[in-house]
Structure 1
């Protein structure tokens, strides 16, 4: 979405947890968005502030924000295993008529031939290489590297320090834990979970949880 260069776009941040701090920090380092409020279901976050941005209440406040002319949102939810909540909030805000804004930290490096979908988030010192394709609501967290020709499905979270070598395909709703490494050409199925520090040298099926060096199946997501 293109915005006038002389006007910051007001947005609401969904969620007041740890990831919201990183997201707001990235926004404040840029020159495109202005976070005006945070909504969160937890009462203890109401009336608090994250880097000066107020927590104003739960999702019911979205109606009031729209009446004020705020029609954009940023996803402030990360994931530690399941990306379901992050996905649900993203789709829910869209269905309520809000537009998702991408967040690209000023220190991130993005190839001019890469494509980042709606609502993608590239955090500090992340790298997205040539011809990489990121679908909507993908989170590439601090210091993560997505090499050339990778394909990342919607709502997937690549946690801090993840390295995807060239040509890796990751399905939607996948969580790749901090510091995990995936060698070139590997395919990871939908809803899979890659444990922190794992080294993935074989394809991972949908709904599998893998861990270790080299990574091996531990269980299924539903187990």
Structure 2
């Protein structure tokens, strides 16, 4: 089991936690979360400190469950790519011909088709479709039900809001 700490306990943190808890076949075990808010527990998982307390847990792995691209990038770099865990919901489809960067989250009912490159610490949220031959840059966030047409490119740190359709060969 990979003992993992979630960084962030807001809405996205809850979604990520649920993805892990609902997958009995995962090798990831969430041992706690770090958050600067007042919340103390989610689904039996306890808060073990504030966000900056990650330095106390150097022997653990992390998943940064924060929707803000800038903050997610900053924390990813501080914690280090080798200490990040990728989380893929059990109902997501990721082609074996595609690559998903360290620390990314691939949500429920998501499809990532062949020859796609998903960057580091990305969020590909619920019901999103990334068609073949796409590039999604590091620290990007594709919100719910986004459709990315084939051969499209999403630059690093880009936020694509829910329901958007990026036509084939788009560059955003």
Query: TM-score, length-normalised on structure 1?
Result: 0.73
Question: Alpha-carbon deviations, 1:126-157, whole Å to 9, x = none?
Answer: 11001011111111000011000000100000
CA deviations 1:87-109 (Å, max 9, x no partner) are 122222218xx610000000001
- Counterparts of 1:98-177 in structure 2 under 5 Å? 99-177=83-161
- Per the alignment, residue 94 of structure 1 pairs with 80
Shift of 1:60: 4.5
What are structure 1's unaligned runs of at least 5 residues? Answer: 1-7, 189-223
1:85 maps to what in 2?
71
Give the direction of change, closer, same or farther, for the CA distance of 1:166–1:60 in structure 2 (3 Å limit). closer
Larger Rg: 1
Secondary structure of 1:187's partner? coil
8 Å contact 2:93–2:111 — kept in the other structure? yes
User: RCO greater where, 1 or 2, for CA within 8 Å and sep 6 or more?
Assistant: 2
The match for 1:38 is: 33
Note if 1:17 corresponds to 2:25.
Answer: no
**Residue ranges of structure 2 left out of the alignment (5+ in a row):** none
Give the aligned partner of residue 182 of structure 1.
166
- Match for 1:27 among 8, 20, 30? 20
TM-superposition CA deviations, 1:133-185 (whole Å, max 9, x none)? 11111110000110000001000000000000100001100000000000000
Counterpart-to-counterpart distance in 1, 2:103 and 2:56: 22
How far residue 65 of structure 1 moved from its aligned partner, in angstroms, is 2.8
TM-score (norm. length: structure 2)? 0.93
Moved over 6 A (4+): none
Contact 2:8-2:51 at 8 Å conserved across structures: no
Match of 2:145, SS state, is coil
Q: Per the alignment, in what secondary structure is the counterpart of residue 22 of structure 1?
A: helix
Q: Structure 1 CA distance, aligned partners of 2:158 and 2:112?
A: 18
**Whole-angstrom distance in 2 between the partners of 1:64 and 1:151:** 35
SS at match of 2:29: strand
Q: Whole-Å Cα distance in 2 between the matches of residues 63 and 167 of structure 1?
A: 40
Tell me what 1:3 maps to.
none
Query: Number of aligned pairs?
Result: 170
Q: For the residues of structure 2 that align with 1:38 and 1:180, how far apart are their CA atoms?
A: 31
Tell me how far 1:62 sits from its aligned partner: 2.4
Cα RMSD of the aligned pairs, angstroms, is 1.5
**Distance in structure 2 (CA, Å) of the matches to 1:94 and 1:13:** 14
